[in-house]
Chains A and B, each alone.
Chain A
Amino acid sequence: MNRRTALRTFLYIAGGTLVLPACFRESGKASIDLTNLSISEDDEHLLAEVTETLIPATDTPGGKELLLHLFVLKMVDDCHTPEEQKQFTKGLSAFSVWSKQELGTGFTIADANSRTELLGKIGESTDEDLKQFFSITKRRTTQGYLNSQYVMTNLVKYELVPGRYNGYAPA
């Protein structure tokens, strides 16, 4: 097992523990240190399910396994303006309420089809915070996915050292 594989396995395991039910962790806080965002363990759990719904596990890993929810939190915490951060956390709460209304049950325990359908309907909502939350989450989730080690080494390979340039390659 080389270093990268070992690291990946470790992250997968870590990812597994991070989404255990709330009672397994005492603090009730998010699992990573955040400077600006106030995110509870439940929030984190919900966000993990949103990223998993956006990018579900198929024969390749999905959002949860790739820890994309933590990437979203990290990027919002570090790279967004205070206004966007406020909208993100307000929108996350709004999403929690709205999704319960729409689904008749919590988003995290709803079945995959109704979750996917629900995310497709977010455009119909009139709640600006909710929409902004979703737009940031989707942008950062897709970015995190395409720039994840798993995707960059297995699916859309990134070449650190191409060693060539061909301006007339066949399309």
Chain B
Amino acid sequence: MANLAIDSIKERTFDAIVIGSGASGSWAAKEFTEKGLKTLLLERGRNVEHVKDYPTTNLYPYEFEHRLEMPYEDKQKNPIANRCYNYREDSKHFFVKDDEHPYIQVKDFDWIRGYQVGGKSLLWARQVQRWSDFDFEGPARDGFSVDWPIRYKDIAPWYSYVERFVGVSGNNDGIPELPDGEHLPAFPLNAVEDHFSKSVAKHYKNRHVISARCAHLSKPNPIHIEQGRVQCQNRVLCQRGCPFGGYYSANAVTIPWAQKTGNLTLRPHSVVHSILYDETKGKATGVKVIDANTKEEMEFFAKVIFVNASALNTNLILLNSISNRFPQGLGNDNGLMGKYVAFHNYTATIGAEYDGLLQYRTDGRNPAGGGYIPRFRNVYRQETDFLRGWAAGFGAGRAEIRDTSGVGSALKEGMLNAKLGTWRVHSHMMAETIPKEENFVSLDADQKDAWGIPLLRISIDYDENDRKMRQDYYEQMTEMYEKAGFTNIQTRDDNRRPGNDIHEMGGVRMGHDPKTSLLNKWHQLHACQNVFVTDGACMTSTSTQNPTLTYMAFTARAANYAIDEMKKGNL
């Protein structure tokens, strides 16, 4: 019996455990397995194998029962998921349904989740931009949150490392606040996007409209072919999973790469209850897992644990990791864990028309979606009555207008003989929000989920700074539109709830000082150094960039640090 027990523990012991198999977790798994570490990758949802488990990927619109529309009953049952732009008949199987995984909305919050192998990397918008020191120095300069313990020079080589592997299409635009990268050719702007770009460059110093940088293979390099991927085919049906591997997902790229090493154990249906802490050793020894289906409890052990469960779930797991040493959650000596959660403010859009350049139209589809306007507000100095600023997406296109006013053969002809409409332009705001102590998540004292894990309470809201920024976005964009000759300019409040941006961040922030932060500059919990957090939970501030590229770069850097420290015997 004794031997059996020892064998069993041996089988459940790894060099490294990674919790969560999305973009950041799968990057940790890739780094560890590539460098020879036996790695356990835990995922609470089901397995999704590249191509094989993309059931809708090659369906035509008429093959969907409701032509991609969500039925009324589903909308009633899942109001949260249905408010996500990406939740449709072709992608619904990659989203968490509201009633399956409840949480407590102290304030309105749409928590959009993808519980499966690959996580939300199957569903993301694939927009990737680097941070610069204008972002990392933000909190210190403007006096909010705490100073980031790292700067651009620390992460720049890791951005390059990640970009080369995942494939990023974009130009090197030479903009200090949006550093250049290791790019594949950009998806170019169209005629009117170009026109706007030139107009903005002519009228404003330090404002730019560039080709959006996206994690698509415009022109694959040998490394991408080696991953089994080919050139993006401009389907723009990415939310179904891409059979070409045209964009980066954990499923298409990092997980199969880690599997090829022979060092990966991928365990789906594994709900992490908590991280195990050994007081005598002064470090974490493993994780307690509940099998999602059988509810069986089990333990796995490793020298190093990476928590990449997605920002709020990472908070949940750490807060639920209670021991004598850490009664408020693992590493939570200062009581700040779960606090200073922030997100991106997407509550404004602006549309207009342009009646020039009618000799052109677009043909095919642009996976990058068009243009990107990096933050220009308060970059070099504070110049407004609000803190920080906003970036924006920008796109132009001409609709095919089908006349449906008639009846009979007139209707038929009207529909079949489309007329090309004038150019329509559209922009949406992506604004930084300021992390605050009163925007927090915590564990409910009584209510538990089906696996016996406390429900998460979420209390997050917009503030005055967010509203001022929205006004500024309208004013500045309207002026820029007018200068470009756009007409019929329409601003529109997008009254989405916090969380609907799917960029929730923070709660386990990085910082120099253990008194005011949870993680050090290597993403280790100050008070439990073999536990690393490299997903959205680690964010000290949010800036305006789409965050996933930064999580992947953070993860690669931290994983390689952990490997070095293990080699030195320090972990």
What residues of chain A have their CB less than 8 Å away from a CB belonging to chain B?
53-56, 58, 60, 62, 74-75, 78-81, 112, 116, 119-120, 138, 142-149, 151-152, 155-156, 158, 160-171
Q: Are A167 and B359 in contact (CB under 8 A)?
A: no
- Partner of A168 from the list B71, B191, B367 (CB cut-off 8 Å) is B191
Question: Least Cβ distance of A98 to chain B in Å?
Answer: 16
Interfacial chain A residues near B69, Cβ < 8 Å: 75, 79
Other 7 A-B pairs with CB < 8 A, given A152-B60, A170-B360: A54-B408, A55-B411, A158-B60, A160-B235, A162-B364, A163-B233, A164-B234
Q: Are B364 and A166 in contact (CB under 8 A)?
A: yes
Interfacial chain A residues near B61, Cβ < 8 Å: 147, 152, 158
- From B9-17, B97-105, B135-143, B413-421, the one touching the partner chain is B413-421
Chain A CB within 8 A of B113 CB: no
How long is the Cα–Cα vector from A160 to B190 in the complex, in angstroms? Answer: 21
Closest B residue to A4 by beta carbon equals: B60
Q: Are A75 and B66 in contact (CB under 8 A)?
A: yes
Chain B 175-217 per-residue mask, 1 if CB under 8 angstroms from chain A, else 0: 0000000000001111101100000000000000000000000
Interfacial chain A residues near B404, Cβ < 8 Å: 138, 142
Interfacial chain B residues near A54, Cβ < 8 Å: 407-408, 411
Chain A CB within 8 A of B361 CB: yes
Q: Are B407 and A143 in contact (CB under 8 A)?
A: no
Closest A residue to B236 by beta carbon equals: A162
Q: Are A147 and B62 in contact (CB under 8 A)?
A: yes
What residues of chain B have their CB less than 8 Å away from a CB belonging to chain A?
58, 60-62, 65-67, 69-73, 187-191, 193-194, 233-235, 237, 358-367, 398, 402, 404, 407-409, 411-412, 415-416, 418, 420
How long is the Cα–Cα vector from A46 to B70 in the complex, in angstroms? Answer: 27
Closest B residue to A138 by beta carbon equals: B404
Q: Are B190 and A168 in contact (CB under 8 A)?
A: yes
How long is the Cα–Cα vector from A166 to B365 in the complex, in angstroms? Answer: 8
Question: Least Cβ distance of A57 to chain B in Å?
Answer: 10
Closest A residue to B75 by beta carbon equals: A79
Closest B residue to A85 by beta carbon equals: B72
Which of A60, A156, A168 counts the most B-chain CB atoms under 10 A from its CB? Answer: A168
Main secondary structure of the interface of B (DSSP, over half): loop
Going nearest first, the 5 A-B pairs with the smallest beta carbon separation are A167-B190, A169-B363, A164-B364, A165-B364, A116-B408
User: Given A53-B407, A78-B66, A160-B235, are A167 and B60 also a contact pair (CB < 8 Å)?
Assistant: no
Interfacial chain B residues near A56, Cβ < 8 Å: 408-409, 412
How long is the Cα–Cα vector from A160 to B236 in the complex, in angstroms? Answer: 9
How long is the Cα–Cα vector from A166 to B363 in the complex, in angstroms? Answer: 5
Interfacial chain A residues near B364, Cβ < 8 Å: 162-166
User: Given A152-B61, A162-B233, are A80 and B72 also a contact pair (CB < 8 Å)?
Assistant: yes
Interfacial chain A residues near B365, Cβ < 8 Å: 162, 165
Interfacial chain B residues near A79, Cβ < 8 Å: 66, 69-72
User: Given A152-B62, A169-B360, are A162 and B235 also a contact pair (CB < 8 Å)?
Assistant: yes
Closest B residue to A153 by beta carbon equals: B60
Q: Are A53 and B415 in contact (CB under 8 A)?
A: no
Question: Least Cβ distance of A3 to chain B in Å?
Answer: 12
How long is the Cα–Cα vector from A112 to B409 in the complex, in angstroms? Answer: 11
8 A-B pairs in the complex with CB atoms less than 8 angstroms apart: A55-B412, A56-B408, A79-B71, A143-B67, A152-B61, A158-B61, A167-B191, A170-B360
Q: Are A165 and B62 in contact (CB under 8 A)?
A: no
Interfacial chain A residues near B412, Cβ < 8 Å: 55-56, 58, 60, 62
User: Given A155-B416, A158-B60, A162-B234, are A171 and B359 also a contact pair (CB < 8 Å)?
Assistant: yes
